[in-house]
């Protein structure tokens, strides 16, 4: 542990600054070794590999080798770097189209069947929701031309709540369905439920819907066939979790009235700074992050990443980074096929609020984390009243951040501090770019493919098997109308005696809802009997 | 790893059920040893200690020994258990008063200066916000008599956003200031900023404010002196993180129109089930949780607790539990004074959404967690449309939960599944009670005091020191009006040369905001000079 004076010296020597953005990264409280590259065996090679891989990413190599895909999110804000003129043109045209479309919506040139649009409903999940949600939470203001809502799950009650909130406003609501593959079930379900709501309101869904999806996807074909208002592209060289600066994020942002050019410019400026090779290692802000993570977690993710922005607008940053970091780094095998079980767990909400929730554990408890503080210098748009003589609410917020990181450091808990001058489109774009690059660097350092997600499929397949079992169960109940079966009888009846537990869960769920006419009788989960109502004639 | 058939057998034998609530806890996928109590050295003793300590808690021993306090949250829903008639009466009277007060607000008998109340603004943080937020998110519906808003931080911009949203509705807004000690700075700041807003709208704050606070606290005295509408008690025998079923949670709930009696009844019923001693260990639902945590994390918190409710309404459960679990268990020392660094890290949001965020890492990546799935059987209030032939959105939600826990288990990742029939006041009260007891059991098993938070003070003290430094800096600038100092010059000028970094952060923050008239000139964080405007005459 360093004294305050020593910390100040390290701070002076190692602060990573992007002057054009007013962004800085302070890693002094991570207690990184002085000759960092030489401090750990092989680290210099890992850093060199990170730069090599990043260069390969940016020149269009198929770095996502398992899926044989290019990784092009850096081109989105620097189209001149794109490997082909076609890709460059596609990026540039999309930005122009997004801004033009939003402008036409705002002036009422593009409008719904009965009214101009005042609300946007984004239907998407994962990479098609977390970026737009983070940006909307960060940048929304009362002066925006449109308000944004989200359906990001297949929870029927959750969907109902969104439409209850919209109420009659559904006629003023433009629905943006976002799905790269067009096959994501949650999004498909949200789209179908939304369609039913528009129809119930006497409105043609197609005249209130736009799609952001891959060319030729199921969603693309639906939108084309039904004559939706418009379609915007997703490309196979942009992954979902790095798609915020493609149409996925830019379209909702432009509709909400946010500064799309600012988002792109901030990311572009940050990219220039994080692309830098040579010079002091920590001078590259993304490398400063990646190296801090590496040293803190031993290159094996032994420490969780706690994200604590001291600003309400940034409350969703941790959720956004959960996906970006965990889905990118959480891998079973490295690029050479060795089983490594990599990853870094990410959580957090905001300060100083979280100080009253779990900083107790951070300071005193299990030492399995490091904190990333995000400091925003500007308190609010206007002036602040005093809450004590000569002190404002914002002075307290600032004091709590400093006090907490000191209290943690005194107990041997490390932290990074990221400082930005204000929350605006430019700095949000910069934060997104900063973490995209840091994750890319770290992945290369630990030798995993940051750009695929092979582990997600197994859950989807298993869910598909459950849905198939449900069909069998409903079929079996229908041919036995009038008789009631226990769980084990049903499991036997459908030829899946080993799947009794899945059968039980399906039957309990069916009986709790009126949709399929399944009823339960008797008590106790194992003795209960299930039957189906005769179909109404 | 067990086969599906073996899992079914374990499920049948060990499912923990509270029939009155329709609540069940399935720990089959935690792979607990068969003769659990004998499986780990000393575990039987730890379990016995957990029951002993719980009995001591409930009979009113000063179990929070460091603070010499009783721990009485179980009495809140069973006042007849209270150790004195005075405490019993205080609990019962408060529930009556809360319900009566809310009723009077709803019928307009208690009203604001210019209008009846339609909105509630809760000003509180930590234990005075997380419970009310969790319950509001879980139970709110469009038919509620009042809408609830929160100020849970000292972020000036965040406060502005709340009042912008309220707009002219401030005259219809009842502000509930919640702080046990009455000295929490964030809450005090929120209260003062709220007061300024009411005054700016030409309204007397006192006629729109109620306090929930300890008898004789700073807040209590302010509310009494200013003649606020009413005051409700907090007691020193209820900790902030277990205060949801005191006036802290019941008052906002009653104002919103939620079923306060249902919350209490659900907790009470759950308490009866979790109080049970004897019989199979896992038959006690809270013990089933505590033992699962203990085995999973080796009694040392080596595994994070990932909370995944498959229901949008329960999205804040993880945040609520972050406090309850981490602040209770995250302790440096055990009750005998040994340094133990205990705790369990908690995070999560909701399924199936999080499947598209970080289940990739959960399945394939670093094995440092176990999952708690929360299943809600009822999909929505009404009927569901089909999204595929014979399948609803809710069937998919249910299928995703099952598919994901299977995919995780196949890769050796354990999970608990909690099932409730529906999200309503009773089941929410039960979940709160369930986790309160589980945390109490676990703390006793690992021999830490679950009821204090000694580590929180150091950060507050350090923040106070920062505020004091800011005063010195402003003083030093004022006596040097016209001259501009660097950070190091200033640190020297105020006699704190070692605190140069804190001085830098304070100066950067001051210069970024107009409130104190501090200006920066020059570039680069270390060469920049700071001066103060001459005071306007």
**pLDDT grade, residue B536 (50/70/90)?**
low
Question: Which chain B residues are Cβ-neighbours of A362 within 8 angstroms?
Answer: 330, 455
What's the CATH code of the domain at B499?
1.10.10
Nearest to B341 among A310, A326, A366 (CB): A366
A297 or A457: whose pLDDT is higher?
A297
Tokens of B278: 């004897």
Contact (CB<8Å) B301/A368: yes
> Among A274, A253, A255, A256, which residue's Cα sits nearest to residue A264?
A253
Q: Which of A311, A331, A465 has the CB atom closest to B157's CB atom?
A: A311
What is the C-alpha to C-alpha distance for residues A530 and B15, in angstroms, rounded to an integer? 20
**Distance, CA of B397 to CA of B417 (rounded, Å):** 15
Q: Is the pLDDT of residue A536 over 90?
A: no
Examine the domain organization and report whether B477 and B404 are in the same domain. no
**Facing residue for A360 by CB, picked from B383, B456, B501:** B456
- Mean of the pLDDT values across residues B501-527? 95
Could you tell me if B43 and B138 lie in one domain?
Answer: no
- Name the residue with tokens 């608990």: B416
What number is the ipTM of this complex?
0.97
Q: Which residue in chain B has the smallest CA separation from A458? A: B407
Residue A31 maps to a domain: yes
Q: Is B151 helix (H, G, I), strand (E, B) or coil?
A: strand
Rounded Cα gap, residues A522 and A124, in angstroms: 41
Between the CA of residue B510 and those of A344, B192, B349, B505, what are the distances in Å?
35, 21, 36, 9
Residue in A114, A39, A472 with CA at minimum distance from that of residue A298: A39
Chain A contact for B192, CB < 8 A?
A: yes
Q: Do A254 and A111 fall within a single domain?
A: yes
Average pLDDT over residues A238-255: 98
Contact check, Cβ <8 Å, A380/B156: yes
Strand B173-179, strand B119-123: pairing: parallel
Residue for token digits 């923040």?
Answer: B463
Residue ranges of alpha helices (H) inside B41-84 are 43-59
Distance CA B184, CA B459 (A): 13
- Per the domain annotation, does A434 fall within a domain? yes
The DSSP letter of residue B298 is: T
Q: Which of B203, B231, B258 is the endpoint of a domain?
A: B258
Nearest to B396 among A185, A362, A387 (CB): A185
Q: Which residues of chain A make contact with B345, given a CB cutoff of 8 A? A: 304, 345, 347, 361, 366, 368-369
Question: Would you give the DSSP letter of residue B162?
Answer: H
Q: Is B525 on the interface with A (CB under 8 A)?
A: yes
pLDDT higher than threshold 60 for residue A311: yes
Asked if residue A433 and residue A487 are part of one domain, the reply reads no
Q: For B425-441, what is the mean pLDDT?
A: 98
**Mean pLDDT along residues A350-379:** 97
**Average pLDDT rounded to a whole number, residues B298-309:** 97
- The CATH number for A169's domain is 3.40.50.10490
Contact B509 A368 (CB under 8 A): no
Q: What is the reported pLDDT for A37?
A: 87
Pair A279, A235 in one domain: no
Q: How far apart are CA B184 and CA B193, in angstroms?
A: 14
B43 min Cα distance to partner chain A (Å): 21
Distance between CA atoms of A284 and A276, rounded to whole angstroms? Answer: 6
DSSP at B112: -
Decide if A503 contacts A490 (C-beta within 8 A): yes
Q: Specify whether A33 is located in the same domain as A133.
A: no
Residue of A459, A488, A506 to mutate, testing the B interface (most B Cβ within 10 Å of its Cβ): A459
In this structure, the answer to whether residues A307 and A408 fall within a common structural domain is yes
Q: Does any domain span residue A490?
A: yes
DSSP label at residue A69: B
Residue A380 forms contact with B (CB below 8 Å): yes
The CA distance from A521 to A135, in Å, is: 49
Same domain, yes or no: A144 and A216: yes
- Span B448-475, average pLDDT: 94
Could you read off the pLDDT of B388-429 as tens digits, one per residue?
Answer: 999 999 999 999 999 999 999 999 999 999 999 999 999 999
On whether both B421 and B476 belong to a single domain, the answer is: no
How high is the pLDDT of residue B534? 78
Q: What tens digit of pLDDT does each residue of B34-61 get?
A: 889 888 889 999 999 999 999 999 999 9
Does residue A408 lie in a domain region?
yes
Residue A168 in domain: yes
B123: DSSP letter: E
Shortest Cα distance, chain B CAs vs residue A86, angstroms:
30
pLDDT reported for residue A482 = 83
Residue of A nearest to B9 (CA): A501
In a domain, A199, yes or no: yes
- For the stretch B148-199, pLDDT in tens is 999 999 999 999 999 999 999 999 999 999 999 888 999 999 999 999 999 9
Residues B90, B226, single domain; the answer is yes
Assess A423–B contact: CB distance below 8 Å, yes or no: yes
How would residue B535 be classed by pLDDT, with cut points 50, 70 and 90?
low
State whether A15 and B410 contact (CB < 8 Å): no
E-strand ranges in A61-217 read 119-123, 147-151, 173-179, 209-214
Averaged pLDDT for residues B353-373: 97
Identify whether A463 is part of a domain.
Answer: yes
Mean pLDDT of A276-282: 93
A254-279 mean pLDDT: 97
pLDDT averaged over every residue in chain A: 96
Report helix angle B218-226 to B185-200, nearest 10: 20
Task: Give pLDDT, residue B482.
Answer: 83
Rounded-to-integer distance, Cα A414 and Cα A432, Å: 23
Mean of the per-residue pLDDT values for chain B?
Answer: 96
What domain range is A201 assigned to? Answer: 73-258
* Cβ(A63)–Cβ(A53) below 8 Å: yes
Active site residues of B: 327, 356, 460
B-chain CB neighbours of A326 within 8 Å are 357-358, 360-361, 365
Q: Which two tokens stand for residue B90?
A: 């205080």
CB of B424 within 8 Å of any CB in chain A?
Answer: no
Edge to edge, what strands does the sheet with B16-18 contain? B16-18, B23-26, B415-420, B369-376, B304-309, B346-347
Our CA-based measurement puts residue A296 at a distance from the nearest CA of chain B, in whole angstroms, of 15
Q: What pLDDT, on the 0 to 100 scale, is given for residue A524?
A: 86
Mean pLDDT value of segment A36-50: 93
- Write the burial class of residue B34 (CB in 10 Å: 0-12 exposed, 13-18 middle, 19+ buried): exposed
**DSSP element (H, E) containing A425:** helix A425-446
Beta strands in B202-318 (DSSP E): 209-214, 230-234, 304-309
Are A392 and A376 part of one and the same domain?
yes
Q: Is A100 on the interface with B (CB under 8 A)?
A: no
Domain boundary among A207, A229, A258: A258
DSSP code of residue B64: B
Which residues of chain B have a CB within 8 Å of the CB of A366? 300-302, 330, 341-345
The alpha-carbon gap from B270 to the nearest alpha carbon of chain A, in Å, equals 18
Tens digit of each residue's pLDDT (9 = 90 or more) over A463-481: 999 999 999 999 999 999 8
Q: Is A381 on the interface with B (CB under 8 A)?
A: yes
* Residues A516 and A408 both lie in one domain: no
Q: Kindly report the number of other CB atoms within 10 A of residue B39's CB atom.
A: 12
Q: Does residue A535 surpass a pLDDT of 90? A: no
Q: Which residue among B186, B332, B399 places its CB closest to the CB of A466?
A: B399
pLDDT grade for B523, boundaries at 50, 70 and 90: confident
CA distance A369 to A375: 19
Contacts of B477 in chain A (CB under 8 A): none
B contact residues 214-243, partner A, Cβ 8 Å cutoff: 240
Q: Is A402 part of the contact surface with chain B (CB cutoff 8 Å)?
A: yes
Q: Looking at the annotation, which residues of A are catalytic?
A: 327, 356, 460
B residues 115-134 closer than 8 Å to A (CB)? 125-127, 129-130
B396/A287 Cα distance (integer angstroms): 41
Contacts A–B by Cβ distance under 8 A: 503
Give me the number of domains chain B comprises: 3
In a domain, B263, yes or no: no
N- to C-terminal Cα separation, chain B: 78
Per the structure block, which two tokens stand in for B289? 């949780």
In 3D, which of A225, A243, A235, A231 has the Cα closest to residue A125? Answer: A243
Domain end position, chosen among A425, A452, A479: A452
DSSP assignments along A352-405, one per residue: TGGGGTTHHHHHHS---EEEEEEEES---SS---EEETTEEHHHHHHHHHHHHH
CB within 8 A of B202, min separation 6: which ones? none
Among candidates B440, B145, B11, B233, which has minimal Cα distance to A502? B11
Phi-psi region of A146 (alpha: psi -120 to 50; beta: other; left: phi over 0): beta
Query: Pairing state of beta strands A304-309 and A209-214?
Result: unpaired
Q: What is the pLDDT, as a whole number, of residue B1? A: 87
**Closest by Cβ to A189, choosing from B165, B196, B387:** B387
């Amino acid at each position: 542990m360093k004294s305050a004076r020593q910390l100040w010296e390290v701070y002076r020597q190692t602060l990573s600054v992007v002057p054009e953005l007013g962004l800085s990264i302070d890693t002094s409280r991570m207690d990184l070794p002085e000759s960092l590259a030489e401090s750990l065996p092989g680290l210099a090679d890992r850093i060199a590999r990170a730069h090599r891989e990043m260069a390969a990413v940016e020149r269009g190599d198929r770095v996502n080798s398992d899926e044989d895909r290019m990784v092009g999110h850096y081109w989105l804000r620097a189209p001149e770097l794109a490997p082909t003129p076609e890709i460059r043109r596609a990026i540039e045209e999309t930005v122009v189209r997004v801004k033009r479309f939003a402008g036409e919506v705002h002036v009422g040139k593009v409008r719904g069947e009965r009214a101009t649009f005042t609300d946007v409903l984004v239907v998407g999940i994962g990479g098609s929701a977390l970026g737009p949600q983070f940006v909307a939470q960060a940048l929304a203001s009362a002066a925006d031309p449109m308000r944004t809502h989200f359906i990001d799950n297949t929870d029927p009650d959750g969907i109902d709540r969104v439409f209850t909130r919209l109420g009659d406003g559904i006629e003023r609501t433009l629905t943006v369905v976002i799905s790269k593959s067009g096959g994501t079930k949650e999004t498909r379900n949200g789209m179908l439920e939304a369609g039913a709501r528009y129809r119930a309101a006497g409105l043609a869904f197609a005249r209130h819907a736009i799609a952001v999806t891959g060319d030729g996807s199921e969603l693309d074909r639906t939108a084309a066939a039904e004559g939706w208002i418009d379609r915007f592209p997703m490309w196979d060289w942009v992954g979902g979790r790095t798609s915020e600066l493609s149409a996925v994020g830019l379209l909702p942002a432009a509709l909400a009235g946010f500064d799309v050019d600012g988002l792109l410019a901030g990311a572009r400026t940050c990219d220039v700074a994080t692309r830098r090779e040579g010079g002091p290692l920590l001078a590259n802000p993304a490398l400063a992050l990646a190296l801090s993570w590496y040293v803190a977690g031993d290159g094996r993710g032994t420490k969780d990443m706690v994200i604590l922005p001291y600003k309400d607008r940034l409350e969703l940053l941790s959720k956004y980074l959960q996906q970006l970091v965990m889905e990118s780094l959480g891998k079973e095998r490295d690029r050479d096929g060795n089983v490594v079980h990599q990853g870094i767990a990410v959580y957090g909400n905001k300060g100083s609020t979280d100080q009253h929730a779990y900083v107790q554990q951070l300071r005193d408890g299990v030492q399995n984390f490091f904190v990333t503080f995000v400091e925003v210098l500007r308190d609010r748009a206007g002036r602040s009243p005093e809450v004590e003589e000569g002190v404002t609410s914002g002075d307290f917020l600032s004091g709590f951040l400093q006090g907490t990181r000191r209290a943690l450091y005194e107990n041997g808990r490390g932290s990074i501090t990221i400082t930005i001058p204000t929350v605006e489109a430019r700095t949000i774009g910069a934060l997104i770019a900063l973490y995209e690059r840091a994750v890319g660097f770290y992945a290369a350092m630990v030798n995993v493919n940051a750009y695929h997600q092979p582990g997600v499929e197994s859950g989807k397949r298993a869910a598909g098997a459950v849905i198939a079992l449900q069909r069998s169960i409903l079929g079996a109940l229908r041919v036995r109308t009038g008789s009631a079966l226990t769980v084990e009888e049903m499991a036997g009846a459908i030829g899946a005696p080993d799947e009794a537990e899945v059968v039980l869960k399906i039957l309990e769920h069916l009986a709790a809802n009126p949709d399929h006419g399944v009823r339960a009788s008797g008590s106790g989960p194992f003795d209960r009997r299930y039957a189906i109502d005769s179909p109404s004639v």
